[in-house]
A = this chain, B = another copy of it.
Amino acid sequence: MPITLSTSQSDFDARFEEMLSAKREDSVDVSEVVAKIIADVGDRGDVALTELTARFDRLELTPDRLAFSPEEVDAEIAKVSPEDRAALVLAAERIRAYHARQMPEDVFWTDPDGASLGWRWTPVSAAGLYVPGGLASYPSSVLMNAIPARVAGVERLVVCVPTPDGVVNPLVLLACRIAGVDEIYRIGGAQAIAALAYGTDTIRKVDKITGPGNAYVAAAKRQVFGRVGIDMIAGPSEVLVIAEGDQNPEWLALDLMAQAEHDADAQAILVTPDAGLAARVVAEVEALLPRLPRSAIAGASWRDYGTVILTRDLDEAAAISDRVAPEHLELCVTDPQALLQKVRHAGAIFLGGWTPEAVGDYVSGPNHVLPTARSARFSSGLSTLDFLKRTTLAQLTPGALAAIGPAAVRLATSEGLDAHGLSVSARLRTLNEDGK
């Protein structure tokens, strides 16, 4: 049974806060282990990489075998069925079209003082994309990371994907091929992040690392942040579904379970003003769970973190959702556009009953790498912008410097930065002499 709350309960706020602050991830601190791994790869490069891969992935490699050869990729992707290939190509096309719209424009204008100002976007030169291995080795993650990078114009695109016991997912390699990945390494964990950040003889370092991963990967990304760029620290996934009474309870139950099946730490939350609908959805989940292949995972998630919140109305549901700031938000209501105006914090919003969250994981076009653990309060999903950086531009005429320079001199002097002031006033003096 999920946690059931109602905003009409007198202790609702306390219980809601308790639910919000429940730690869903293991609190084991892996930062020391990870720091050692990073230092080891930094010091010993490929040797450390092969040793660590042997230990953690039970895979004996030599440096020349760290990368998949084109022939290995060819052989693996030949195993993919035409139907799977077609689905992946459709997904890639839609993701590319969406992310192409995110390319920002450069601007440069001249203001009334004669100062020409603006900015210019340029791509990161090299990006490393982490793809989790093992059970969660998802081809869709490859597309969601690699395609925005390619759209942004990144020149060198590297994927690291662990292959425990040498097992590789052919669809992951096909996704790399479709997305245009340049290099694919069969390494994972903190050692892969270290290799991408510091470089080894075999793997050149990159400028930015993106992609989700386990606790070790997250800790490693946190530690190399600053030396390279990173996207975000991904936590367990969550969905919040706001639903009205006329919505199909089976669909809602499936949407909740689609979240729950990711991970026992995932969280599925139903918020509705309709107690009858809530009961029907809970009953559907109970009926559905035993039939799911991943029922153990989904059941644990639903039992430990599944939550139903009854509200007075949809406005209150929207306010509750903003306090959660969910990664995924479904608005399964008659007028989703109206409700959209009332919510503010969410990674991705799915409008209306015909837009199950699962289409967003694969084919709708927007990115599925999204802010988790309430970080939608301050951050955004992966996008084309994550592979670009903006350089500000300024070009003054002598007249513009004459207009705004004296204020700079004044402020520099007040901050005790005399050379700053002198660098402006020396030019102003020349102007005045010329103007005589």
A-side residues, CB < 8 A to B, are: 83-84, 86-88, 90-91, 94, 97-98, 101-102, 104, 107, 109, 111, 115-117, 119-120, 122, 124-125, 135, 138-140, 171, 207-208, 222, 225-226, 228-229, 233, 235, 248, 250-251, 254-255, 257-258, 260-262, 288, 292-294, 298, 336-337, 340, 344-367, 370-371, 373, 375-381, 383, 385, 389-398, 400-401, 404-408, 410-412, 414-424, 426-427, 430
CB pair A365 B115 closer than 8 Å: yes
CB pair A251 B427 closer than 8 Å: yes
Q: How far is the CB of A36 from chain B (nearest CB, A)?
A: 14
**B90, B235, B423: the one within 8 Å of A251 (CB):** B423
Q: How far apart are the CA atoms of A290 and B367 in the complex, in Å?
A: 56
CB pair A423 B356 closer than 8 Å: yes
**B140, B225, B394: the one within 8 Å of A360 (CB):** B394
Residue from A97, A119, A344 with most neighbouring chain B CB atoms (10 Å) = A119
CB pair A349 B391 closer than 8 Å: yes
Q: How far is the CB of A93 from chain B (nearest CB, A)?
A: 10
Q: How far is the CB of A89 from chain B (nearest CB, A)?
A: 9
CB pair A262 B417 closer than 8 Å: yes
Q: How far is the CB of A149 from chain B (nearest CB, A)?
A: 12
CB pair A381 B375 closer than 8 Å: no
Q: How far is the CB of A349 from chain B (nearest CB, A)?
A: 5
Q: How far apart are the CA atoms of A228 and B414 in the complex, in Å?
A: 33
**A427: chain B residues within 8 A (beta carbon):** 251, 353-354, 356
CB pair A348 B391 closer than 8 Å: yes
CB pair A396 B87 closer than 8 Å: no
Q: How far is the CB of A433 from chain B (nearest CB, A)?
A: 12
Q: How far apart are the CA atoms of A104 and B207 in the complex, in Å?
A: 26
Decide: A348 near B424, CB < 8 A? Known: A84-B414, A377-B125: no
**B83, B298, B376, B420: the one within 8 Å of A389 (CB):** B376
Q: How far apart are the CA atoms of A257 and B426 in the complex, in Å?
A: 13
CB pair B396 A354 closer than 8 Å: yes
**B90, B370, B412: the one within 8 Å of A361 (CB):** B412
CB pair A394 B348 closer than 8 Å: yes
Question: Which residue of chain B has its CB nearest to the CB of A228?
Answer: B378
Q: How far apart are the CA atoms of A246 and B270 in the complex, in Å?
A: 70
Please name 6 further chain A to chain B contacts, defined as beta carbons within 8 Å, in addition to the given A261-B419, A294-B416, A380-B389, sorted by A numbering: A90-B407, A222-B222, A248-B426, A349-B391, A352-B396, A359-B394
CB pair A115 B361 closer than 8 Å: no
CB pair A366 B119 closer than 8 Å: yes
Question: Which residue of chain B has its CB nearest to the CB of A365?
Answer: B117
CB pair B359 A405 closer than 8 Å: yes
CB pair B417 A261 closer than 8 Å: yes
**B254, B352, B364, B422: the one within 8 Å of A423 (CB):** B254
**A115: chain B residues within 8 A (beta carbon):** 364-365
A-B contact pairs, 28 of them (CB 8 A): A88-B411, A90-B407, A91-B407, A94-B111, A101-B107, A102-B119, A115-B364, A116-B351, A125-B345, A135-B416, A140-B415, A171-B414, A248-B430, A257-B419, A261-B418, A262-B417, A336-B395, A347-B392, A349-B393, A351-B394, A354-B401, A355-B396, A357-B423, A358-B408, A362-B407, A362-B408, A362-B420, A363-B411
